[in-house]
A and B are shown apart, each in its own frame.
Chain A
């Protein structure tokens, strides 16, 4: 298995707008069902890109193609390319485990391991061969996710005893412990209360200094608040999802080019 070359596993601090990962003519099938049709889009380094669109438009599917997570679903097929450091991550000789380490994921519902807060962060790093000071890594990741002050005195306590918002920040801390370059987030705040949501949003804004973030959200205001760019997806008459418009968030929310985008973000369909 080949590891994708180029760029160290260390977070990228280059803020110039250049693609961290690119999708080219992506088509995705669940069995015979054509779920995503001809999507091409690039995600810029150290930016937050929000994927929006009505239910069933394929935005979560597109998100999961970025780290080959869809392959875990039986009878699925991916066509097209996802270029990461110039290599198609779907090439036969690319190791999907390496890809998922470099491109981390945070899910809608917080899913900490039923272990201690400390272990939740340490395990992934240990499995990935982390040789440094583990206590330091745990503290750093909890600091980065603004959770340290809340949990520093109970690191050995079960993660399951944390609130939903804290659990989600722990999951983000766990994701960044293995030093990915890209973070994929699938509605990471949809199950959280407004205060916890605000903390996640502040965290996303902070994390983009070091990571490229792609987020699926149903919350239009959230997309407007946290993302640099927005991609709007729709579903065609055969229920295949496709990309309608992709651009700077301020343009999409203030003066979108496509009338379908305007109708969707204004709440007139969807």
Chain B
């Protein structure tokens, strides 16, 4: 048994839980997208109900981090990794909330003109889901270069968000009765733009864990 085997095992378990939480959020986002595309109420309800499991996982991971700090007194890279874990699960949880927000919008979009924007929204969200997946992987692998590369993709999210937003504005201007549904769609688009920001935060924390420096990615 090597030195600090017990700590390494606890850290490994922590990482596995973060990976699990990342996968739960990724799945929630995917289901929410299917629900909004297919106007599937049942699936939407499932996403909303399952959000509590993501919240519970966040609390579990935060408790694990607190226990590691209290009992193992990590320092240097060990400490930065635990601090990073606390920060990134909070960002992952917020992404989970966005999946729930999308699910809640199911049934609120009825007009064909606005439903026609859903595929573009879906493409935007798929870029975001890919970022979530790769950011969590970068954390588990402690790969700062990968984290930087993932954060770079936030520019793509911003561009796609802008295009979608402009499309929705044109629709709303053409028919004021569509404003309510239009606002719903702009909010969904905005959630994806925020998702990009959360992933960027995660990436910044990964760089911090690895290099001990706070940096701004995509400032």
Contacts and interface: CB of A to CB of B under 8 A. Distances in A.
Contacts of A268: 2-4
B219 interface: no
A220 B78 CA distance: 14
Nearest to A267: B4
A220 B80 CA distance: 17
A262 B73 contact: no
A265 B4 contact: no
B4 A262 contact: no
B76 interface: yes
A78 B105 CA distance: 79
Contacts of B3: 267-269
Contacts of B77: 262, 266
Interface stretch (A113-121, A158-166, A206-214, A248-256): A248-256
A254 B73 contact: no
Interface in A234-270: 253-256, 262, 265-269
Interface residues of B, number: 14
Nearest to B78: A266
B77 to A, nearest CB: 6
Contacts of B75: 220, 224, 253-254, 265-266
Contacts, number: 34
Contact of B76 (A221, A265, A269): A265
A265 B3 CA distance: 12
B107 interface: no
B4 A266 contact: yes
B130 interface: no
A243 B123 CA distance: 57
B79 interface: yes
Contacts of A269: 3
Interface residues of A, number: 13
A254 B78 contact: no
Contacts of A253: 75-76, 79
B119 interface: no
Interface string B78-101: 111000000000000000000000
Contacts of B76: 253-256, 262, 265-266
B9 to A, nearest CB: 14
A254 B213 CA distance: 10
Contact of A266 (B2, B74, B213): B74
Contacts of A220: 73, 75
A122 B177 CA distance: 94
B212 A221 contact: no
Contacts of A265: 75-76
Nearest to B79: A254
Contacts of B2: 268
B80 A254 contact: yes
Contacts of B212: 254-255
A5 to B, nearest CB: 42
A129 B75 CA distance: 47
Contacts of B74: 266
B182 to A, nearest CB: 49
Closest A-B pairs by Cβ, 8 of them? A255-B212, A253-B75, A262-B76, A267-B4, A265-B75, A268-B3, A266-B78, A256-B76
29 contacts: A220-B75, A221-B73, A224-B75, A253-B75, A253-B79, A254-B75, A254-B76, A254-B79, A254-B80, A254-B212, A255-B76, A255-B80, A255-B212, A255-B213, A256-B76, A262-B76, A265-B75, A265-B76, A266-B74, A266-B75, A266-B77, A266-B78, A267-B3, A267-B4, A267-B7, A268-B2, A268-B3, A268-B4, A269-B3
Given A253-B76, A262-B77, 19 more contacts: A220-B73, A221-B73, A253-B75, A254-B75, A254-B79, A254-B80, A255-B76, A255-B80, A256-B76, A262-B76, A265-B76, A266-B74, A266-B75, A266-B76, A266-B77, A267-B3, A267-B4, A267-B7, A268-B3
